[in-house]
Amino acid sequence: MGSNKLQANDDGDWEFLRYFTNCTRLQVIDLSDNTLGGILPSFIANLSSSIQWLSMAKNQISGIIPLGIGSLNGLEDLEFQGSGKYGSVYRGNMSLPSAVNVVVAVKVFTLQHASSSRSSMAECEALRNVKHRNLIKIITCCSSMDTRGNDFRALVFEFMPKYSLDRWLHPRIHEQTHKLSIAQLLNIAVDVADAIDHLHNNSCPTVIHCDLKPSNILLSADWIAYVADIGLAKLVGESIEQSSLSAGDSSTVGIRGTIGYVAPEYGAGGQASVVGDAYSFGITLLEMFTGKAPTDNMFREGLTLHLHAEMTLPEKISEIIDPALLHVEQYDNDAEILTCLSSVIEVGVSCSKENPSERMDMKHAAAKLNRIREGKYRE
């Protein structure tokens, strides 16, 4: 029943779930990617003890998980916020020295995957000493044993109420989201560029993100962007074991990154590099302003998002810009806006060139995007 437009806002709306309490052999329930909100009913604990996997991810559920859910002895995977190859993210509440009942995001690593243990260590190491206003902040971490005696590792982050950029670029049918404005997208682009520039040029050791994409860019309540999910990160100077170069949800074994965003040289066995991050940033930037994901069905037979954008520069820029962007708000000078957008697309194209040696690095990309935003960009 995932991605099936199911809705729930109060206790009465959750009554459909009660019918499953009679299904004694039911092992899997997938309610992810719907519009289920409110508080989980207590009768969820009456589901079959045969249930092994229960997913409520990508909904708007709030409140406390019913304590009775612990009686589901066969339950192995419980997903609420979201999940990936290396673990699941949950929304929760905890008390901190500075505040009580703070909403947080908890990333629990799936240590059954050998690479997940490396991922958790990479993320902890990458974020331990790296501080920047646009990098997601770790509140605390946990390394312990669960009730079954298995290793347990988790990171607790600040919760981002606007979720990921991906959800605003490509909203699901049932989600009531609005189109982000050019100004909002430009602010997000600058935030991300500044964060990656910091990882590359102002942290010691240098950190390579390795999996930059819209779903790893989180947004705060006031639309500040935070780069997250540095689980594949490489610290420059560490040894690279080919067996550890595994990827995320849509990735292929042996490649750091996600299909569509991963640098071409990684697919040929190339090592992680700062120009690989620049490529991922360039593709992400083009996606933000064209509205087209790099895996869109239109990109086939040699046509890529990079070529699609490059062929329109500079005179035909209006042909690839997401048309909805120009209708979000009224602009006094359309020619000036198109010039601004053309400059942004040029940065995206320069960062995502196929040849690594020809790519714009993140220091220059961040500087140019800051100048564009400030209205001081000049060729």
Q: How far is CA 337 from CA 62, 227, 326, 342, 350, in A?
A: 40, 27, 9, 9, 20
Other beta carbons within 10 angstroms of residue 355's beta carbon come to 9
State yes or no: pLDDT of 274 exceeds 70.
Answer: yes
Q: For the chain, what is the domain count?
A: 2
In a domain, 155, yes or no: no
Supply the CATH number for residue 357's domain.
Answer: 1.10.510.10
Residue 153 lies in a domain: no
Does one domain contain both 175 and 76?
no
The per-residue pLDDT for 243 is 31
pLDDT tens-place string over residues 92-124:
777 777 777 788 888 777 665 555 455 555 556
Question: What is the predicted pLDDT for the residue at 366?
Answer: 98
In this structure, the answer to whether residues 356 and 246 fall within a common structural domain is yes
Q: For all residues of the chain together, what is the average pLDDT?
A: 79
- Quick one: tokens of 197? 């520039």
- Is residue 139 assigned to a domain? no
Residue 277 lies in a domain: yes
Q: Summarize pLDDT for 339-370 with one digit per residue, the tens.
A: 999 999 999 999 999 999 999 999 999 999 99
* Residue 190: HSE in the Cβ half-sphere, 13 Å Cα cutoff: 16
207-241 pLDDT, tens digit per residue, is 899 999 999 999 999 999 999 887 556 666 543 33
Model confidence at 41: pLDDT above 50: yes
User: What is the extent of the structural domain holding 365?
Assistant: 165-373
Task: Tell me the catalytic residues.
Answer: 211
* Residue 279 belongs to a domain: yes
Last residue of a domain, one of 12, 47, 80: 80
Q: pLDDT digit string (tens) for 140-179? A: 877 777 666 777 778 888 889 898 999 899 886 656 678 8
Confidence band of 291 (pLDDT split at 50, 70, 90): very high
| Residue 34 shares a structural domain with residue 180 | no
Q: What is the DSSP string of 210-276?
A: S--SGGGEEE-TT--EEE---TT-EEBTB---GGG----TT--TT-SS-TTTS-HHHHTTPPP-HHH
Structural domain includes residue 146:
no
Domain co-membership, 348 together with 213? yes
Residue 91 in any domain: the answer is no
Tell which of 63, 80, 97 closes a domain: 80
Q: Domain ends where: 24, 46, 80?
A: 80
| CA 112/CA 116 separation, integer angstroms | 7
Query: Domain for residue 117, yes or no?
Result: no
Same-domain check for residues 59 and 176: no
Rounded Cα gap, residues 81 and 92, in angstroms? 10
